Structure 1
Amino acid sequence: MLRVAIYSRKSVETDTGESIKNQIAICKQYFKRQNEECKFEIFEDEGFSGSNINRPSFQRMMELAKIRQFDVIAVYKIDRIARNIVDFVNVYDELDKLNIKLISITEGFDPSTPVGKMMMMLLASFAEMERMNIAQRVKDNMKELAKMGHWSGGTPPKGYKANRIKENSKKITHLELIEDDAKDIKEIFEQYALGLSMYKISKSFKAKGKNYPNKTISNILINPTYLKATNESVKYLESQGYTVYGEPNNCGFLPYNRRPKSNGKKTWNNIDKFVSISIHKPIIDLELWVRVQEKLKEKTIAPHPHESSYSFLSGGLIRCKCGGHMLLKPGAPRKKVPQKYYFVCANKWNGIGCPSKHLRVDYAEDDFLSFLEKFLDKNYLKEYLNQSNDIKGIDQEIKSINKKIKSNDILINNLIDKLALMSNDASKLLMKKIEDLTQNNNSLKEYLLKSQREKLLNDLNKNNIDVIYDTIKKILNTSNNDLRRIYIKNLVKEIIYDYDTNSLNIIISKLGVI
């Protein structure tokens, strides 16, 4: 009796092709025509792609094949086994070692002959090429839908649901806001901008009976779907490396290709990431979005020293002019005298050789508050911000960079035109010059993005004088060190301790908002 395993597979990606039921029936008829007595065992995988062999029934069949439960494995077509040539060859070789025949019923090749084996390999190659073409077409279609602002599938971001609507006699999918979730999303952004950690935000929602794990909060904070599409937000996203499709309409963005898959794994910082302007209702305005993104960047640059209840300037707010963090250290205890605390440069503490002196905490705090009191005069604050934000200088810098990039492009094009007329040795020199100019342009474009971002932050700062003023008042009017520290982190760009003059150099943040 011939023991036959019949394997059938049908992907949900397409409605075409034979059903699993028909595949099995055709395979059985083939063996019945041979007038052989057969024992059939059926293995079915429905809804699984042929891009890999991680399919439950297929894996079970191969395990039974290893203990020689079959004489033959029959398939309707060889692409039922795999649409990947490497997978197919591995399966074929394994069955060959086990002395189990692999028969493709409709293609009619005998794999026991060299010609039959060659034809099977050839068909497997065609199957893989077809799979890759299908995958590329699907990817291209999704990309074009995304560029048009349509939702291209998958799980909608938190706060939205997918909604199919009719547009120009076609059904398309857009995102629809879930109002209750939208309140949570905005609160997450506001709390993070205020200075709360993701852990504390998650904990605060848990106390309300809502589940927002750290990972969910992290994904929410970096997702442009929530951002309102304005001219300024388009410029900001472009400065972050996004390509933007569509015209600003005060609706939301749809991001695409932020984390493309490579060999089944998601990758970060993709150069082809883009956003399109859609029609869904946004949740976050640009000001709040930028504050959060800047805070996220700060977190990735370097860890800060621990915060202490003994000073609102602890936690990495002060740096020594040598570059080291100023750490909080208790002074020697004295009887009947209140404990004194000092800021000490980390480089001096670690014996690296910083010549700085200890800075008394109470003196540093008094100097800082005195500095802020000057800004209770709003005109003085406005003048200070205008001086610190060199808008004209940045505009000139952007103009100069664009001019240099354009000049390099012209040189590159001229050199390319000359290449065809040059000898091999001369063409190598030209190619080197073209590569150097291209690298220079890439560096200039990176610097241009940074300058454009700086200009945008300055523009935001110019419009936030009232908010900065209110923040200064909050710092001066509270005695709670934790609250003061949160406000200061949002207000101050840096505080540098100059040990030569024993003074603090304080620069108000270019965002400076709460």
Structure 2
Amino acid sequence: MKRIAIYSRKSKETDKGESIMTQIKMCKDYFLRYDEESTFEVFEDEGFSGKNTDRPAFKRMMMLASHKKFDIVACYKVDRIARNIIDFMNTFDILRKNDVSLVSITEGFDPNTPVGMMMMTLIAGFAEMERMNIAQRIKDNMKSLAELGRWSGGTPPTGYKSIQLESGNKIITYLELLPEWKEKIKLSFETLANGHTIRQSANILNMPVKTVANIINNPTYCKSDELSANYLKTLGYEVYGELNGNGYIPYNRRPRTKNGKKEFNAKGMFVAVSKHEAIVDSDLWIAANEQIKQRGAEARPRISQNSFLAHLVKCSCGSGMYLEPGKTRKDGTRTYYFRCSRQRYDKTLCNTGWVNATYLEEDILESLNVWALDKSELESYVNKRPSGDITKNIKKIKKAIDKNNSDLHKLTEKLILLEGSAIDAVTNKMNEISRDNEKLNESLLLLERKNLTNDVDALNIEILQNKIKEIVSTWSELTIDDKQLLVKAVIKNIVWDGGKVFTIQPNL
């Protein structure tokens, strides 16, 4: 049994072909010839052109297709889906990635037939070729910029500003060093080269950790010479320009993967010798970066030996809470407290009280034990299900859309028989119904997204409870290191409100 989405579209102003009702009937008849048990869901966009994909029923269909709710998307002709190659290829690519076939019943575009499979293969090949051409054009543009050593725009690196210089009839942008930053940035490289961590260096310089990390691995600060050029090549960079002691400009330093994540040491990275003053010698820049690489290769120490909740507790103000030791008792023991990190620097920034780590651990462990025994308690705590019967509301909206579509079909038939001002009255009524359908389709899209989210949550809760059961059943045998790792697998964070209330965010 195949799950088939039928998409139909007709623009009242321009389309003179088959009506929407005829398109739908022909699609159903096509599939029922092969499989009488096929199920259908119809998506209608009456009065929308194919110039773009901003159509309510189409968007709802593609959202459901991306969650694998269909096996096939069918249409009367391919131009019902899109009338420009970019929109069509994007749609085709999304469906293909979700294992949904696209079938045009009148054009032989059916993957179950040899001709249809050949057409799909050709289109997929053209799409891939176009992506490769775009990628190559981007790369060529970057190389052109790299040969000039120009600043390509965006926020300048810390310690520099962008300046514009005239070159013939063109205005070209370069970087210029801010003198007040020179010694501070140089010191950051020196502290790391001498064995300090990035965090320690940030504390010494009173700078954010992320800023220091971005400075250290950025070739902008390194003097261009043969030593630095050869080292950069080992990192995957192509090097352009005359090595004259000026700084480099990097291009495509952090390219992104297909899913949007940034890559390190990726292909296609460039540096070019520019006009700006570099801050550190190549041997110091390399030494600092080698220290970072060495630390990254070493096994990292555990976060804390004093609480299995370390780095999980957050303050209601949004900051993390760190472990603060209390006074040492006569027997050598001491109590640890979670304290808002903002208070470490300025007590006036947050007035949330401290929380005893031992008491919080006991409460969290009690919650885990309850969830391990009773799934309904876990579901109730997660409480992500919206109120009301979503399925019932979806059916209600679909029924209203069907009625509107039926009324539109009837009014369309009447237009043939009418003349003069009567046509305007019917057209206004059709426009009114179409606007109502747009709103209904938007509401339906939101409800179906919620419904899909609930399906995913139900599955995740089942998995989450099984993990919690494993943890509590072996808790007494676990080391503090194991407890930290396992608790992080089931709890994303714990928010403390400053009184006696905390909120656990499960790691769904």
TM-score (normalizing by structure 1)? 0.40
Greater radius of gyration (CA): 1
TM-score (normalizing by structure 2)? 0.40
